[in-house]
Amino acid sequence: MLKLGPIAIYLLRRSLFILSTFISFLLIIFALPRAIPGNPVATLLAQIFQQAQANPDTVKAVYKKFMEEFGLNKPLHEQLYDFLSRLMVGDLGTSIAFYPRKVVDLVASYLPWTLGLLIPATLAAWVLGNLLGAWAAYRRKTAVDNALLPTFLVLSQIPYYWLAMILLYVFAVYAKLFPVAGAYPPTMQPSLSSQFILGVLHHYTLPFLSILIVAIGGWAIGMRVLVIYELRSDYVEYSELLGLDDKKILGYVFKNSVLPQITGLALSFGTIMGGALITELVFSYPGTGYLLFRALSTLDYPLIQGTFIILVSTLLLANFIVDLLYAWIDPRIRVSYVGE
């Protein structure tokens, strides 16, 4: 019998779970339009077909292409087979609004802006939120905590995009310190020159801050409760009786409390992604949120589906990375998943 180490078992289980989540998601994507009465995709194709009746060959070619991609006249199991086998080779279909561009290429050109905004903002908020939350817990029942906790509570309830609107209004429209739209100066060609990079950072500041400030609140609330619980554990009391330095004890407490926050990091990535997509709209930031909005307003179903598939894949990948990190950090995994 092959004997697997505890970490290998843990990672195997997690990968199987993430894989089944991905498959379930694909099934949802496939089933949704087909389950809704009057199949919206079929309605859309019928509209294109009507145009094809009146218009020359180009529209007919478009119609034929989409009939092929969706295959709505075939039996359901064949549709599913086609859908999955095209996915396997990375084919997410053709966009309707940006015809004849491929969905994969479109999303690939917008995705870097979203990730460039999302990942640094999420990580920075995680670090700052945990530190502030631990501080509030440590200063529990003092003016510090009584001022910080309500601030965190309110911050965590602000939608990113509303804060984005306010920041944009105050710092860009009113004070004219930052640009009002876009991700880089419209007069410049994207390049690696220092001038262009400065321009990008100038455009980056407000969207980044609007995500950072709100996300800090949620992390801080969570961390505060975790640290409060941890501060009451036996080892803290024991260390205090031993006369250990407060800072040293706090270091242990922080390390133990931050572990659940790492798991939270994976889950929050998705929530923050949802908010960040809408924040992009406020700043006209050329990320996937902007692309998705275009796709939604033109009912470009292939593009909508493709954007979601790529976003969710990214998310699941992030989850897997967090799992790896967790396996590496948390010694308990080595104990609890003993191979058989």
Partner 1 sequence: MLRGLYKVISPELFTIKKLDASVAVLFAIILMGFVGPTLYPVDPRAVVGPLESPPSDLYPLGTDAYGKDILAQLMSGIRGSLQIGVTAAAIALLIGVMVGLVAGYKGRLTESLLMMATDIVLLLPSILLMILIAAYFKWRDPLLVSIIIGVTSWPWVARAVRSQTLSLKNREFVYLSKMAGYGDLQIVVRDILPNIASYVFMAYVLLMSGAMIAETGLSMIGLGVTQGVTLGSILFWAQVLEAVRRGLWWWFIPPGAVLVALASSLLMLATALDEYFNPRLRGG
- What is the longest distance spanned by two Cα atoms in the chain? 88
Q: Which of 153, 201, 244, 317 binds partner 1 (CB under 8 A)?
A: 153
Residue 195 binds to partner 1 (criterion: CB under 8 A):
no
Q: Which of 79, 156, 256, 261 binds partner 1 (CB under 8 A)?
A: 156
Write phi, then psi, for 94 (nearest 5 degrees).
-110, 140
Helix or strand (DSSP H, E) at 291? helix 288-297
Question: What is the separation of C-alpha 258 from the centre of its chain, rounded to a whole number of angstroms?
Answer: 21
Cα 67 to Cα 147: distance, rounded to the nearest angstrom: 60
Q: Which of 103, 183, 273, 291 binds partner 1 (CB under 8 A)?
A: 273
Cα 288 to Cα 144: distance, rounded to the nearest angstrom: 39
Taking contact as CB under 8 A, which single stretch among the options 58-66, 76-84, 109-117, 169-177 is the one that binds partner 1? 169-177
Specify the 3-state DSSP secondary structure of 177: coil
Q: Which of 100, 112, 159, 339 binds partner 1 (CB under 8 A)?
A: 159
Give every CB contact of residue 313 below 8 A, 6+ residues apart in sequence: 22
Q: Restricting to residues 286-305, name those near partner 1 by CB under 8 A.
A: 289, 292-293, 296-297, 299, 301, 304
Residue 142 binds to partner 1 (criterion: CB under 8 A):
yes
Residue 282 binds to partner 1 (criterion: CB under 8 A):
yes
Q: Quick one: which of 160, 151, 119, 118 has its CA closest to 132?
A: 151
**In terms of CB distance, is 156 or 239 closer to partner 1?**
156
Taking the complex as a whole, how short is the minimal distance between the CB of residue 95 and partner 1, in angstroms? 15
Q: CA 7, 8, 12, 18 torsion: positive or negative? A: positive
Taking contact as CB under 8 A, which single stretch among the options 104-112, 129-137, 235-243, 276-284 is the one that binds partner 1? 276-284
Angle (CA) 216 222 227, round 5°? 115
Taking contact as CB under 8 A, which single stretch among the options 57-65, 173-181, 251-259, 332-340 is the one that binds partner 1? 173-181
Integer angstrom CA distances of residue 211 from 92, 95, 221:
30, 30, 16
Report the interhelical angle of 246-283 vs 301-329 (nearest 10°): 170
Site string for partner 1, 15-34 (x = CB under 8 A): --xx-xx--xx--xx--xx-
What does the binding site for partner 1 look like in residue numbers (CB under 8 A)? 17-18, 20-21, 24-25, 28-29, 32-33, 36, 40, 141-143, 146, 150, 153-154, 156-159, 161-162, 165-166, 168-169, 173-174, 180-181, 225, 228-229, 267, 270-271, 273-275, 277-278, 281-282, 289, 292-293, 296-297, 299, 301, 304, 308, 311-312, 315-316, 319
